Structure 1
């Protein structure tokens, strides 16, 4: 018997696709918000944004510019709470 998944019941909207602007912050290229950014957006959390956010870019190059860390497509987390939370803790830490 599967345990019920109560965590998905509070998700307000689907995880974002590629965007150029995320909550007023321009990305260096069109990319998919990941980790904390994806969770804040999908669950419409009223929390301050982390100073540096993460996104999945289209190229196979990891880099940082301004307020963004851009990761490669191979870093793409599963599009669910567990996937994005695991990504956030692994690549973005606690701060």
Structure 2
């Protein structure tokens, strides 16, 4: 299924379970949701990972890539990351 022109995928990551337990992952995702709302984007999907940025087998990120390959979100660089349709926020300590 192809998404409409304003669809985005949200992705957030923290490095440790301690950071996730402290609410950092939830705060990141809420910031992304707010950005999407304020800029008129429809959220196609949300993915999160608790994993090192060096770990290339991050399930959430792999799901984002699969959706991108299928063309299921906006193909534009008008996002915080500059990636097509991807609003991403990652943190290793906040």
Structure 1 and Structure 2 fold alike (TM over 0.5)? no
Greater relative contact order (CA < 8 Å, ≥ 6 in sequence) = 2
TM-score when scaled to structure 1? 0.25
